[in-house]
Amino acid sequence: MNKRPQKTVTALDAITADLVAVLVAVTDGQPRIMTIEHAAALPSGPFQFGHRSLQTGLRAWVEAQTGHPLGYVEQLYTFADRGRSGDPDAPHRISISYLGLTREEEGREGADAQWSSWYDYFPWEDHRDGPPAILAKIIAPKLKAWARSAEQPALQKTRWRRAAITFGVDGHEWNEELALQRYELLYEAALIAESVREKGGEGVVPGRAMRGDHRRILATGIARLRAKIKYRPVVFELMPDEFTLLQLQRSVEALAGRLVHKQNFRRLIEQQDLVEETGAMAADTIGRPAKLFRFRQGVLAERAVVGTKLPLSRT
Amino acid sequence: MNKRPQKTVTALDAITADLVAVLVAVTDGQPRIMTIEHAAALPSGPFQFGHRSLQTGLRAWVEAQTGHPLGYVEQLYTFADRGRSGDPDAPHRISISYLGLTREEEGREGADAQWSSWYDYFPWEDHRDGPPAILAKIIAPKLKAWARSAEQPALQKTRWRRAAITFGVDGHEWNEELALQRYELLYEAALIAESVREKGGEGVVPGRAMRGDHRRILATGIARLRAKIKYRPVVFELMPDEFTLLQLQRSVEALAGRLVHKQNFRRLIEQQDLVEETGAMAADTIGRPAKLFRFRQGVLAERAVVGTKLPLSRT
DNA sequence: CAGATTATGCTCAAGGAGAGTATAAATGGC
DNA sequence: GCCATTTATACTCTCCTTGAGCATAATCTG
């Protein structure tokens, strides 16, 4: 892959950079992410000399590891940690993470690559059937215990307040965009396998762990995507060429982790001229057949800049 | 600064990372940024072995170069470019940029550090007195010429459409959040000194240039801040402890580059319980003296998570 | 045909945003 | 002291958006 001769870089400031992808698709109304290493890591690899740009490098790694091409991509965040590796003499290692959106394509996964529901990693994030049971039964009590474990009463109060706001308990409303804050709070409270490894502690909360800080990166991607679908027409990247409005709605709901008022959803989609009828109707459906739609190519150019709106109701 | 022994890293994948800060303050109703090298560069320096984290490194560099402490900080974007350096054998160099918000403090600048108005670099971004003259007189015609210079009619149309949308001409509305897209469009059209250096061309648009891609980074910071003030109470970081509502409004306007309806602004600020009266009145003012306000500390915790609203009207 | 299920059209009330009017409280010049 | 000027502050009004519900249409299953 590298045609250049090997170079020796003599520098205090030399570091290595990893490229990490949160590659999202929605299939059968479930938000799914591409994983490797038996669903315990995100597609990733070092930024190398031969890569022309960060995105090029990322695309190369994802395609090599998963056989799946990368479509729409946007940068998420850059993390740095020497602490994790344990060795204080180790050079800095930074991770540059990206969010990618695609459609699942049959039989293109690499040996070790597979799609997994993102709710496997964050079971408390799915509120489509109402607040999940683990929230009240497991998470809230553990967070309360964590808050109480603080020395000073003031800190106890601050902790619980923060927990209540981010998790939407104790009179506060659930806010699906706070996925990252929730993960970080659980991490801080040592209720996450990844932080227990580091800090010690026991009794983690349900949810599949990942290697390194990949789960944090995934949380970052979820939060970003949940915020973004509301004002940028990015759902498009996840849909097939033709779809019904209900399918579109289900995709949005899958990502947001909450339900949407059907009639209002249609109203908003239609009044924004985002879609046009194909003329055909959906086949093989229960109930009244629905019209098929496609996204209007023309609008995409302007909307990519200007924006869109999506309703996310509370029922 | 580095206590560790020098290490030799032998690796294809070794790279160097720069930390770059867009440090913003608002003084006398003007948005200002901290610069070095005679206002031609942003505070920046390499991420080094001795830095415990990215933010630590950034703080170290900014304080060393400018003597000014760094308050609120958030990450902006990570760029990579070998192309710029010219040497194809050079290792990758990435820039990790941050947005910082502070208050100007007297006489703390380093030798080569100074505050400059950000509109010196982007004169077309200030719409507080209506659309600036250079937009219609210089920029629009040049962009039109660029659009016309395309081979295919379809491309001509696409180019002009894009220009019209991002610059709010030809019937489109001005959108202050598109600062980065505007810079990138001008760059692509070779109307920016930095791109002329690279691509050749002549007849750039007014506006001070910067070293490397610092002006792009600044545009990124402006766009991010303009988007953020609307839903997160970040203006707080830029205000003195006590202020009048008009001063607060002027700060928002300085950042947004557009005016706000006064009465509606007050209504929104007050109904959100963001501020409280100090009891004192502003002294040394023309006209009826205004009440002094301060931000409510308590709210900050929740709002930092939940959000705020600001009105940005079109008049 | 009844019941279930989804699609689609329409209405309504509450709240928010944009914009304007009116009045109050200072200053400086004469 | 009066007036023009400037800023502060209180209300009002209208339009649009949003959340929510009702009603009807078009299918399939048994």
Give residue A18's pLDDT band: very low, low, confident or very high (50, 70, 90): very high
Å between CA of B180 and C1' of D1: 57
Tell me what pLDDT residue B9 has: 44
- Looking at the domain assignment, is residue B84 inside a domain? yes
Q: Which nucleotides of D are covered by protein (CB under 7 A)?
A: 5-12, 17-22, 25-28
Judge if B269 and B242 occupy the same domain: yes
- Looking at the domain assignment, is residue B219 inside a domain? no
B198 to chain A nearest CA, in Å?
17
Range of the domain at B249: 233-306
- Looking at the domain assignment, is residue B134 inside a domain? yes
Give residue A313's pLDDT band: very low, low, confident or very high (50, 70, 90): very low
Judge if B110 and B138 occupy the same domain: no
Residue B289 belongs to domain with CATH number: 1.10.10.10
- For residue B310, what are the contacts with CB-CB under 8 A and spacing of at least 6? B229, B230, B231, B252, B260, B265, B268
What angle is formed at CA B265 by the lines to CA B31 and CA B132, rounded to 5 degrees? 45
B15–A306: do the CB atoms touch at under 8 Å? Answer: no
- Out of A115-119, A196-200, A271-275, which region has the weakest mean confidence (pLDDT)? A196-200
Question: Using DSSP, how many helices (H) and how many strands (E) does chain B show?
Answer: 10, 9
Position B65: which residue type? Answer: Q
Judge if A113 and A158 occupy the same domain: no
Is it the case that residue A66 has pLDDT exceeding 60? yes
Give the pLDDT confidence of A238-289 residue by residue, as tens digits.
999 999 999 999 999 999 999 999 999 999 998 888 899 998 888 878 888 9
Show residues of chain B in contact with A9, CB under 8 Å.
8-11, 14, 91
A9 vs A230, more confident:
A230
Residue B23 belongs to domain with CATH number: 3.90.79.10
- Looking at the domain assignment, is residue A227 inside a domain? no
Residue B213 burial (CB count, 10 A):
18
Locate all alpha helices (DSSP H) within A168-203, ordered by sequence.
Answer: 179-188, 193-199
**pLDDT beneath 50: ranges in chain B:** 1-10, 313-315
Chosen for mutation from A1, A8, A74, A78 (greatest number of chain B CBs closer than 10 Å) is: A78
Determine whether A129 is exposed, middle or buried from the number of CB atoms within 10 Å of its CB (0-12, 13-18, 19+): exposed
B80–A175: do the CB atoms touch at under 8 Å? Answer: no
Judge if A245 and A279 occupy the same domain: yes
Judge if B102 and B132 occupy the same domain: no
Chain A 126-185 contacts with nucleic strand D (CB below 7 A)? none
A14 vs A227, more confident:
A227
Domain boundary residue, one of A55, A87, A120: A120
- Looking at the domain assignment, is residue A203 inside a domain? yes
Tell me what pLDDT residue A2 has: 38
Tell me what pLDDT residue B107 has: 67
A22 vs A298, more confident:
A22
Tell me what pLDDT residue A159 has: 94
Judge if B27 and B74 occupy the same domain: yes
Closest CA to A237 of A70, A110, A119: A70
Show residues of chain A in contact with B161, CB under 8 Å.
301-302
* Beta-bridge partners for A23: A100
Tell me what pLDDT residue B236 has: 86
Angstrom distance (rounded) from CA A277 to CA A50: 45
Domain boundary residue, one of A120, A150, A178: A120
Judge if B253 and B296 occupy the same domain: yes
Judge if A65 and A159 occupy the same domain: no
Q: CB of residue B279 closer than 7 A to nucleic acid strand D?
A: no
Chain A interface includes B75 (CB < 8 A):
yes
- Looking at the domain assignment, is residue B5 inside a domain? no
Judge if A114 and A132 occupy the same domain: no
Strand duo B44-46 + B16-27: pairing: antiparallel
Taking residues A97-107, what's their average pLDDT?
90
Q: CB of residue A279 closer than 7 A to nucleic acid strand C?
A: no
Is it the case that residue A84 has pLDDT exceeding 60? no
Judge if A271 and A302 occupy the same domain: yes
Domain boundary residue, one of A153, A173, A207: A207
Query: How many structural domains are present in chain A?
Result: 3
End-to-end CA distance of chain A: give it in Å, rounded: 52
- Looking at the domain assignment, is residue B223 inside a domain? no
Judge if A142 and A102 occupy the same domain: no
A202 vs A1, more confident:
A202
Taking residues A149-157, what's their average pLDDT?
94
Is it the case that residue A10 has pLDDT exceeding 50? no
Tell me what pLDDT residue A184 has: 96
Å between CA of B279 and C1' of D29: 73
- Looking at the domain assignment, is residue A4 inside a domain? no
Give residue A218's pLDDT band: very low, low, confident or very high (50, 70, 90): very high
Give residue A312's pLDDT band: very low, low, confident or very high (50, 70, 90): low
Judge if A55 and A134 occupy the same domain: no
- For residue B82, what are the contacts with CB-CB under 8 A and spacing of at least 6? A52, B88, B90, B91, B92, B93
